[in-house]
Structure 1
């Protein structure tokens, strides 16, 4: 119950912090696919006949897609490991075949395969919040993980284990559809709350490095900052840490450690984007600057408008357009 209350608190905080959001990355992709599967499962519980069968064939894969969402919520990697989508695909395909062709040898084989793979996906979803658990995680991240597990466990218990009284009688199927459809709807809402939470609290922001700076890190920091200015690194689109390491004649890991310990940024991308956005803020606030936002993005080292908008919003909490309007309005009112 405490975990459920905590998750509810996170929901309220998310509601207060709403701002324009555009889905991106593997988390958004899996969330969209899972949404389609959950909605199909809900519709299957509301309809009858062939329509219900068709929607159920899509909806039975929801547990596999939900697991991929959980992986993306708690795994900071930009891409899935190769086997993860395969497992989710097996769940979806075997589940669909078992619904559409339930009789005969094929039906029995796919039904067993679906039971095994679906159960594995359910269990793996429980594990995901704690695979990368560390004692130094921020309190809000710990509460989020406890809340996620508590909500998920409650829904699985109600939907899969059948924690309700009475399973016989003329109204048993209606009761079963109502409970399972309701659990699916609550799960869908909770999933998007979790996605929103992660968008507001990125992995890099919730896992700060606690490693102490070494003397090598301290010596390297001013060299790195001089290189930033002398080579105008921030203006280089698609700049990689490997290029900076070569220029400094240092291993990549040492440059990364310097950035996280001495300079205080979660990673290289956060560091370089911080300086790009600092330049963009000056240009956007200048009333004499007539270039478009896209042109300013290019001038500040971004290869396209989308990454610029996302990085700017993450850094300032505003869109570049909103920042330009607010800054120039303030200047004109003085």
Structure 2
């Protein structure tokens, strides 16, 4: 009776691993409860009766929904700014869960109904249960060491500590001394490895001590600041595309979008306005993209 609710339990656990937001989750608990109760009732009710058929249908619908949602939860707030370890964890979770589902739910459908086949069916499901529980313990241990920060308006931002301030100064020195923001393929994992710090610590420092929502916003802010200086320099003859490359952008499109988000105008308009205010003569070659 407890085991038939496994799809509901798996979904609730997955939500706890990948959805850190503090919000009302009664509907999720309700779905889990429906899966458990309808599954238990389908076991207890007489076969072929009205109650049994209703319970079977409710269990099939709610269980399938919970099963699919379990695959969806790891992609909650999945973005490019996620640390590499977090991306690998989510990929491993989905892969292991998919294999367990394929073996225990789908692969055994083709097994016959003889006593030997039934024994193999029980052994395979038991093995999947053991592997699933072991993987769950590993997943919980990983999440304890790499907690997800809730991004809700009602949750106040944690005040930076002295350790955050020291790490923030090391990040600033990387920008000044090594110009790391000029590397187009730079990732937060590269920064963490360079400083010998966990990725989640670097991400936490960027959001608390430096005041940026994520790594990409922080690094692009400094890239755009460099681009603004170059665009305003009347002696700068490089094109906008060349300036984008020099500032660490791999192509013109992301540079234009990041510049507009940070400055409120396009690089071309910014250069024309700033150079005009300085009385610098226009340079048609430099204005070409």
TM-score relative to the length of structure 1: 0.44
2:32 matches 1:70: no
Structure 2: tracts of 5 or more residues without a match: 152-159, 161-204, 214-289
* Partner of residue 293, structure 1: none
- Cα RMSD (Å): 2.6
Matches within 5 A, 1:216-227: none
* Aligned counterpart for 1:204 among listed residues 149, 152, 168: 149
CA distance in 1: counterparts of 2:211 and 2:141, whole angstroms: 23
* Aligned counterpart for 1:134 among listed residues 55, 79, 94: 79
Task: Give the conservation status (yes or no) of the 8 Å contact 1:204–1:266.
Answer: no
Structure 1: tracts of 5 or more residues without a match: 1-56, 208-220, 222-258, 268-334
Q: 1:163: how far off?
A: 4.9
How many residue pairs were aligned? 160
Q: 1:166 to 1:108 in 2, by over 3 A?
A: closer
CA distance in 2: counterparts of 1:165 and 1:118, whole angstroms: 20
Q: 1:152: how far off?
A: 0.1
CA distance in 1: counterparts of 2:123 and 2:29, whole angstroms: 30
CA distance in 2: counterparts of 1:125 and 1:166, whole angstroms: 26
Task: Give the conservation status (yes or no) of the 8 Å contact 2:111–2:117.
Answer: yes
Secondary structure of residue in 1 paired with 2:20: coil
Matches within 5 A, 1:280-291: none
Q: 1:170: how far off?
A: 2.8
Structure whose alpha-carbon radius of gyration is higher: 2
Task: Give the conservation status (yes or no) of the 8 Å contact 2:108–2:121.
Answer: no
* Aligned counterpart for 2:209 among listed residues 263, 271, 282: 263
Deviations 1:94-130 (A, max 9, x none): 0000001142100110011001100111100001011
2:49 matches 1:91: no
Q: 1:266: how far off?
A: 9.4
2:115 matches 1:170: yes
Matches within 5 A, 1:8-157: 57-79=1-23, 81-103=25-47, 104-157=49-102
Task: Give the conservation status (yes or no) of the 8 Å contact 1:102–1:108.
Answer: no
Q: 1:81 to 1:147 in 2, by over 3 A?
A: same
Q: 1:265 to 1:66 in 2, by over 3 A?
A: farther
Deviations 1:13-61 (A, max 9, x none): xxxxxxxxxxxxxxxxxxxxxxxxxxxxxxxxxxxxxxxxxxxx11111
Task: Give the conservation status (yes or no) of the 8 Å contact 1:158–1:164.
Answer: no
Task: Give the conservation status (yes or no) of the 8 Å contact 2:111–2:121.
Answer: no
2:134 matches 1:189: yes
Q: 1:150: how far off?
A: 0.2
Q: 1:82: how far off?
A: 1.9
Q: 1:265: how far off?
A: 7.7
Query: Where does structure 1 differ by over 6 angstroms across 4 or more consecutive aligned residues?
Result: none
Q: 1:184: how far off?
A: 1.1
Q: 1:191 to 1:80 in 2, by over 3 A?
A: farther
CA distance in 2: counterparts of 1:128 and 1:135, whole angstroms: 17
Q: 1:169: how far off?
A: 3.0
TM-score relative to the length of structure 2: 0.51
CA distance in 2: counterparts of 1:166 and 1:66, whole angstroms: 25
Task: Give the conservation status (yes or no) of the 8 Å contact 2:39–2:56.
Answer: yes
